[in-house]
């Protein structure tokens, strides 16, 4: 049980996909102008990460490896992610058109979100069990959502700050992201006993 807790904390904080591995940066900078859209994107990515983990693990262990088709791994994973995102996009369009509009181009871009593909490749590459895969996916998704919410909160506060002209827009966002990444590096020294 302790190993699974450490795996969750490690995935969420120490090896955060956005701030340590730098995967999934496009929505991180594009959707974090408002807390609601950041939370919604975090929820969408969480769903896709969890289902991707649930699908790619048995696919790799029961189909690709036994048939010697490991070289098709990346293509198969991208197809799975694309199907999941299409289903999610249809669901959000039907249930919340306003949220669908807020996501704009970033919802279809989850298909090519390297954080999700990175998760799929990491769980297979690390040789995780199915339970470890689910915990890793949940921790990674929690860390992704946490970073998105933190960035959105800071960016909303920055609207009221007197930011010099040269730093306004993308420049201050990248500076904030860099400082957040430095802060998350501190989690690397955690000793969970």
SS (H, E, C) the chain: CHHHHHHHHHHHHHCCCCCCCCCCHHHHHHCCCCHHHHHHHHHHHHHHHHHHHHHHHHHHHHHHCCCCCHHHHHHHHHHHHHHHHHHHHHHHHHHCHHHHHHHHHHCHHHHHCHHHHHHHHHHHHCCCCHHHHHHHHHHHHHHHHHHHHHHHHHHHHHCCCCCCHHHCCHHHHHHHHHHHHHHHHHHHHCCCC
**Average pLDDT score over residue span 15-20:** 91
Q: Between the CA of residue 36 and those of 17, 43, 93, 159, 173, what are the distances in Å?
A: 21, 10, 16, 16, 18
pLDDT at 1 over 50: yes
Give percent of the chain with pLDDT exceeding 90.
Answer: 47
Which carries the bigger pLDDT value, residue 146 or residue 187?
A: 146
Lowest mean pLDDT among 60-74, 134-148, 160-174: 160-174
Lowest mean pLDDT among 9-18, 102-111, 139-148, 182-191: 102-111
CA distance 82 to 95: 20
CA distance 20 to 152: 18
Taking the model in full, what pTM does it have?
A: 0.85
Q: What is the chain's mean pLDDT, rounded?
A: 89
List the structure tokens of 21: 């591995």
Reported as a pLDDT band with limits 50, 70 and 90, residue 24 is confident
Reported as a pLDDT band with limits 50, 70 and 90, residue 193 is very low
**Average pLDDT score over residue span 19-33:** 86
pLDDT at 129 over 90: yes
Instruction: Map out the domains of the chain as residue ranges.
Output: 2-187
Q: What is the pLDDT of residue 92?
A: 86
List the structure tokens of 84: 């999941």
**Helices 130-158, 114-125: crossing angle, 10 deg rounding:** 150
CA distance 23 to 41: 15
Q: Between the CA of residue 177 and those of 26, 46, 147, 166, what are the distances in Å?
A: 12, 21, 9, 17
pLDDT at 178 over 60: yes
Q: What is the pLDDT of residue 135?
A: 96
Reported as a pLDDT band with limits 50, 70 and 90, residue 190 is low
Write down the number of H helices and E strands in the chain: 8, 0
Q: What is the pLDDT of residue 36?
A: 87
Reported as a pLDDT band with limits 50, 70 and 90, residue 34 is confident
Q: What is the pLDDT of residue 151?
A: 93
Q: What is the pLDDT of residue 192?
A: 54
């Amino acid at each position: 049980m302790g190993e699974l807790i450490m795996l969750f904390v490690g995935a969420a904080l120490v090896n955060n996909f956005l701030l340590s591995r730098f995967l999934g940066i496009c929505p991180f900078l594009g959707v974090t102008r408002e807390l609601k859209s950041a939370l919604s994107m975090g929820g969408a990515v969480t769903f896709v990460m969890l289902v991707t983990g649930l699908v790619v693990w048995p696919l790799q262990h029961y189909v690709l490896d036994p048939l010697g088709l490991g070289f098709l791994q990346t293509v198969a994973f991208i197809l799975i992610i694309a199907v999941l995102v299409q289903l999610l996009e249809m669901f959000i369009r039907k249930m919340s058109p306003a949220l669908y509009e807020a996501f704009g181009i970033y919802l279809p871009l989850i298909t090519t979100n390297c954080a999700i593909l990175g998760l799929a490749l990491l769980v297979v590459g690390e040789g995780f069990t199915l339970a470890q895969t689910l915990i890793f996916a949940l921790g990674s998704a929690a860390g992704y959502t946490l970073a998105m919410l933190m960035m959105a909160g800071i960016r909303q506060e920055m609207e009221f700050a007197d930011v010099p002209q040269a730093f306004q827009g993308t420049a201050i966002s990248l500076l904030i992201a860099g400082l957040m990444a430095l802060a998350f590096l501190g989690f690397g020294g955690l000793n969970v006993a």
